[in-house]
Structure 1
Amino acid sequence: MSSATHAEPASAAQGTPRPDGRRYMVDIDIGGTLTDGLFSDGESVTAVKVDTTPHDFTVCFFECLREGARQLGHDDLKAFLTEVAVIRWSATIATNIIAEGKGPRIGLLVSAGTGPELYGTGESRAVGRLIAPENIVELPEDRSERDTLAAIRALLEKGVRRIAVSTRGGFDDASAELAVRRLVDESFPDHYLGAVPLVLGSEICHHPDDQTRTHMALVNAYVHTPLAVALFQAEDKLLGEYGYRRPVYIAHVNGGVARVAKTKAVDTAESSPFFGLKACAWWSRLYGHDKILALDVGGTTAKLGIVHDGQPVTIDQGDLLGVPLKTPWTLLRSAAVGGGSVARAGDGAVRLGPDSQGAFPGPACYDLGGREATLTDAFLALGMLNAERFLGGRRALRVDLAEEALQRAVAQPLGIDVGTAAERIVDRGVEIVCAVAAETLELAGLDADGLRLYCFGGNGGNFAARVAGRLGIGEAYAFSLGPVLSAFGSSVSEICHVREEWPFAALGSEARETVPAIVQRGVDQVTRDLQGEQLSTDDARFSCEITITQDGRTEQYELAADPAEATALFERLGDRTGVVERVAIRGLSPVPTYHPTPAPEAGEHPARPAGRRRIDGADGEVLVWEQLDPGSVGQGPAVLESETNSCTVPAGWTVRIDRFANAILQPAGQ
């Protein structure tokens, strides 16, 4: 994703300091239903939520900025932005474009004999999803320049707006792909092809598997345009209307951030859920927890991942929303369950999702025209949400509309009362999540022994105890920043660039000859990328990771990013047999980050309830999160609630507030 950028170097003026000398860090995460913001001056932190605007993501981006500024006492956004040092932005934009099939029409040029298999066996799952079969063009080996130009013109006449080129063997020899680009540059004036640029598979992914390289090129081509429009439009508006000339960084799935101009569309896919998982990894290291099941429940979907030994778990061969990739990928699984999931009766039981009401018209209780019963309506009917405090009180929820929708969609068809209908809807959501959790644990090769559950997202706290109980997990955490935890994952992130190659070089002389050169190429490229951020590399930190497969076992070696270190590694390995699969060079450069400060230690004492209401069909306590100090302990049934968060404590469970204001839920007596 390349374009001119208006951001000043990170080392330049970092905003006008406040009288106390501090500047703000802003982290924004755009979800499918709600957009989250985290505003911090390094010591205090403010969390906000606004509705996502799928028709134009820049609208919710700026609404989030305005709401954060307002809560910090600024009526003038332009004045507030003078006090901002850095803005970081994570989003589900790319993920949602693929999931909803809303990308532009794209074309693909491949080598002859490829067909819909796209260099694999059987029809590729990308065909019909990312690209129509008729827009795949096979180029013969003896093609002329006229043949290539005719193929491109034919795609343009079909309405194609972006073309991927991925030829057989492009990893070893990219000359055929480069020749296509050179021909296009020479033959088409900018005003004709400017809106339909080429994407070369050899430049998007340095992997020897032709299908993986092709899939990555297709993903990039499919999501680039709508994503670029949103990102560049926001950056231009920040400059033009507000005079903001400091960095806007975009979250990458490598765990770091980078400027818009240094971002490929595929870099951002799944970045929002990944940064939630990264936040869980950060907390796990702080707490000393070595095995975590992370559950993120938003308005549209639930995401599950694993943290082991302080790092998100990856799998050797992943997929991006069903499109297979023969590259390591973070283990993330989705369940079609969220606050907006539609509930209905069917075959004598409750059905939940996969369709969602989203932010608009939203659940029936929003009173925005939606009449479908949803999981949020069930939560409200059971007293698990406060009708007056939703989104900090900016939207009052209608209990009567929720109950009417539940009666119409579930209670009446099943011959049960509204309370029972709401309970069954919540139970069904928990069942769906637990089924995906079991699958996720199996893929990671872990069981529930010693496992802790971290719950976050706007609805994660209301799932925490129920999911933990069903899976046999003895301790669940609901975070005070849970509704904005992906934004928190962004707030602890630095600028990062990664260069990967998959040489599949045999240990011994081949590895000694080829891998040090790959390491040097990687260092040179990552250095250029960091310099492209308009940063000095004096403070940059470089590392090298080499993945070796031996007798079916995979081992990873962490080295200094130095060719001599790679040579020394292979000398130590001596005559061992195996293959060097992957070489990755990572470069990190610091930017301001936020780290929570713990409150002083305090002994356990009973939590002071702020009131009582019906919760889960029983009389229970209302605990206000902001009013509880460390060591406060409450008994279920209860609801722990804040301006943006709600966590249900069922009967037979306890909740304790720790020094970071996070809630720890356990079965009573444990």
Structure 2
Amino acid sequence: MRYTVDIDIGGTLTDGLFSDGRQVIATKVDTTPHDFTVCFFECIREGANRLGYESLTDFFADVKVIRWSSTIATNVLAEGKGPKLGLLISEGHGTDLYGNGVSPAINRVLSPENITQISEPISEEEVLRKVRALLEQGVRRICVSLKGAFEDPSIEQRIKKLVDEQFPDHYLGAVPVLLGSDILHHPDSQTRTHLSLINSYVHTPLAVALFKAEDELLLQHKYRKPVYIGHVNGGVARVAKTKGVDTTESGPVFGLHAASYFAKRYGLDKVLSVDVGGTTAKIGLILNGEVITVPNGDLFGIPLKTPWILLRSIALGGGSIARVKNGRVTLGPESMGAYPGPACYNLGGESATLTDAFLVSGAMNPDRFLGGRRRLQMEQARRTIQEQVAGPLNISIEAAAQAIIERAMEMVTDCCNETLKEYGYTTEGFSLFSFGGNGSNFASGVADKLNLKNAYVFGLGPVLSAFGSSVSDICHIHEEWPYQPLNKASVQEVYKLVTLGQERVLRDLEGEGLSAADVELSVEFIIAKNNDESEVIQLPIEKALNGGFQEIAESRSGSTLERVSVKGLSPVSKFELPHVDISSQRAKTDQRRTMLWPKQADHAPIYDWEQLQRGSSFTGPACLESETVSCMVIPGWDVQIDGYGNAVFTKGGA
């Protein structure tokens, strides 16, 4: 028997999915931010125990593949908890970072006093003096990003060599120097600078966890197969082939790919995905079953002129701290995380959070959290809400809990509307997919505010990013940005770029232990037209090299070839979710409790998801709960468990 293991580390909880191709087991444990390898192994141990293994070493002997995604990098950015960075930049660009106006990266990942400008031709004395000043200011990582490094990175490389020689390890300590030209070969200097800063900001906690986990797997458990790390491109690669910025949003991106999986199976053309964890909420779009990639991305408002998965993030999750400011409830951006966590965890948390409000409102069962392994403390939740929200607003605890939940729903709804508007859509025709550790409680509330007719909550919803990882392939990409006009003369130059990309991708995949026969190669061209619109063309690499690109160049003569990207995919073991036929029936329950949001409902029915047969249906107000899910159903919404075991919400009368 051979298992696939998919682990997704979030800001508050760590999810696991274990499958032998026939059955699937989902697990959840607390994230351990002091050492992410602890929750990584605790999650695997929980799964191994449920599969009947007493020894982790014995279990790993039966594991075929491990894939690991996370929101580690995302949460570092969301909460502003990265290290102090220093930046060496070309003279005249100390605040714009080669863009227009003050760069959004300043005061997000970089303090302006830690930016130092370098004049050219460079003076070694000036460089060393300014590096020494940065070190004295306490910076922990130094980025070098100079204008013109796309065409000639030699000056950046010279600075790095100079610093390495003049500041030996015993002086410099653990303050590495990172070059923008090493992170991305891209003509836009601001994009190179932004990505190098983001990579430096998120690198340390991620790298420590990944390499430590690999060592422990090998040395303690004799696991010699690679650990594959989730990348923002939706694929996975080995630790040695992974940069910090590659993993940014990897957990949420796999949630989007899981949403794409279900959109195709449901035949839905327009899907709005809402993924709410413990620290952040992520909004994405699925159109015609495919995850949307935008030409220019951004991370928490930091612009990137490079294709990126469309994913909007806000600092909102179950652990988000609730406060009163100017007579209004606010949530976040700070989160209590897993330790000490929300007040109801009773682990020392003294701040009211969204989770505390859900508990007080009746949306959560205090006895079933994490499968009953932790009992949530109602009195602790009520006390902190009274002290920090109800008291300052001079309202009841119940009204304060309602206000906290209402604010959370507004934040997610506003982000959904802004995302749709930005890309030219209204809510017409969209369905809502709501998932993540806290996403199920948002389904009917957000769908109602958006005037949608249906929403979906998944049986694997709390671990849907891990499920998205379980249907992913090994993927490596090599890209070039030639920015050259399309004509007959450009064809041979582009063939050289494609061939170079093919060689590098195959070399990377060989490093994963794969041969060329295991790999599917394709090439993507981004072409800028004269009206400033971009066209994306994808071809199998054989077709591109055998006349395919020549046809493109001849038919689009005068346009500009912006990007050439070679992608190599190699499939790995996947789990396919089974579907069964259903017959409709009304659900029955004897369980009741009071629910407060959006308005008080006494004796609202509580349905046990794990006891409901597929085809069972009921109407809100109600709560649907399981060992891992708490799901409010507000008045006016009907729910049916479908053939996949998912909950399909329909607006009453729709």
- TM interval, shorter chain, is over 0.9
1:578 match: 559
2:611 match: 627
User: Could you tell me how far apart the structure 1 residues matched to 2:474 and 2:631 are?
Assistant: 34
CA 1:341–1:181 in 2, change beyond 3 Å: closer, same or farther?
A: closer
Are 2:15 and 2:463, in contact at CA under 8 Å, matched by a contact in 1? yes
C-alpha offsets along residues 511-550 of structure 1, whole Å, 9 cap, x if unaligned? 4243222211111111111112122221101111111121
1:504 match: 483
User: Could you tell me how far apart the structure 1 residues matched to 2:283 and 2:527 are?
Assistant: 28
C-alpha offsets along residues 349-369 of structure 1, whole Å, 9 cap, x if unaligned? 433333332222222222223
1:588 match: 569
| SS of residue paired to 1:353 | strand
Please report how far the alpha carbon of residue 80 of structure 1 lies from its aligned counterpart in structure 2 after TM superposition: 1.6
User: Could you tell me how far apart the structure 1 residues matched to 2:51 and 2:228 are?
Assistant: 22
User: Could you tell me how far apart the structure 2 residues matched to 1:32 and 1:403 are?
Assistant: 24
Are 1:344 and 1:410, in contact at CA under 8 Å, matched by a contact in 2? yes
CA 1:571–1:351 in 2, change beyond 3 Å: closer, same or farther?
A: closer
Are 1:507 and 1:570, in contact at CA under 8 Å, matched by a contact in 2? no
1:557 match: 537
Are 2:74 and 2:248, in contact at CA under 8 Å, matched by a contact in 1? yes
Write out aligned runs for 1:417-436 (5 A): 417-436=396-415
CA 1:143–1:402 in 2, change beyond 3 Å: closer, same or farther?
A: closer
Are 2:68 and 2:227, in contact at CA under 8 Å, matched by a contact in 1? yes
| SS of residue paired to 2:518 | coil
1:249 match: 228
Are 1:494 and 1:590, in contact at CA under 8 Å, matched by a contact in 2? yes
Letter in 2 for 1:604: S
2:416 match: 437
C-alpha offsets along residues 426-467 of structure 1, whole Å, 9 cap, x if unaligned? 222111111111001112221111100000011111110111
User: Structure 1 length as normaliser, TM-score?
Assistant: 0.91
User: Could you tell me how far apart the structure 1 residues matched to 2:164 and 2:356 are?
Assistant: 56
Are 1:505 and 1:514, in contact at CA under 8 Å, matched by a contact in 2? no
User: Could you tell me how far apart the structure 1 residues matched to 2:155 and 2:202 are?
Assistant: 24
C-alpha offsets along residues 118-175 of structure 1, whole Å, 9 cap, x if unaligned? 2223332323443344443444333355655555555445544433232222212223
Letter in 2 for 1:597: P
Are 2:312 and 2:419, in contact at CA under 8 Å, matched by a contact in 1? yes
1:663 matches 2:636: no
User: Could you tell me how far apart the structure 2 residues matched to 1:200 and 1:344 are?
Assistant: 41
Write out aligned runs for 1:36-435 (5 A): 36-143=15-122, 148=127, 151-152=130-131, 155-156=134-135, 158-183=137-162, 195-435=174-414
Are 1:541 and 1:589, in contact at CA under 8 Å, matched by a contact in 2? yes
Are 2:78 and 2:315, in contact at CA under 8 Å, matched by a contact in 1? no
CA RMSD, Structure 1 to Structure 2 (Å):
2.4
Please report how far the alpha carbon of residue 612 of structure 1 lies from its aligned counterpart in structure 2 after TM superposition: 2.5
Are 2:255 and 2:466, in contact at CA under 8 Å, matched by a contact in 1? yes
Are 1:375 and 1:425, in contact at CA under 8 Å, matched by a contact in 2? yes
Please report how far the alpha carbon of residue 78 of structure 1 lies from its aligned counterpart in structure 2 after TM superposition: 2.0
User: Could you tell me how far apart the structure 1 residues matched to 2:400 and 2:133 are?
Assistant: 56
Aligned with residue 637 of structure 1, among 612, 621, 624: 621
User: Could you tell me how far apart the structure 1 residues matched to 2:515 and 2:136 are?
Assistant: 46
Which runs of 5 or more residues in structure 1 are unaligned? 1-21
1:618 matches 2:599: no
| SS of residue paired to 1:238 | helix
| SS of residue paired to 1:586 | strand
Q: Which moves more between the two structures, 185-194 or 569-578?
A: 185-194
Letter in 1 for 2:203: H
Please report how far the alpha carbon of residue 555 of structure 1 lies from its aligned counterpart in structure 2 after TM superposition: 1.4
State percent identity of aligned pairs: 55
Letter in 2 for 1:652: G
Are 1:517 and 1:563, in contact at CA under 8 Å, matched by a contact in 2? no
Please report how far the alpha carbon of residue 108 of structure 1 lies from its aligned counterpart in structure 2 after TM superposition: 3.0
CA 1:99–1:302 in 2, change beyond 3 Å: closer, same or farther?
A: closer
User: Could you tell me how far apart the structure 2 residues matched to 1:378 and 1:111 are?
Assistant: 49
1:15 match: none
User: Could you tell me how far apart the structure 1 residues matched to 2:544 and 2:293 are?
Assistant: 28
Please report how far the alpha carbon of residue 73 of structure 1 lies from its aligned counterpart in structure 2 after TM superposition: 2.2
Please report how far the alpha carbon of residue 204 of structure 1 lies from its aligned counterpart in structure 2 after TM superposition: 1.2
User: Could you tell me how far apart the structure 2 residues matched to 1:374 and 1:119 are?
Assistant: 40
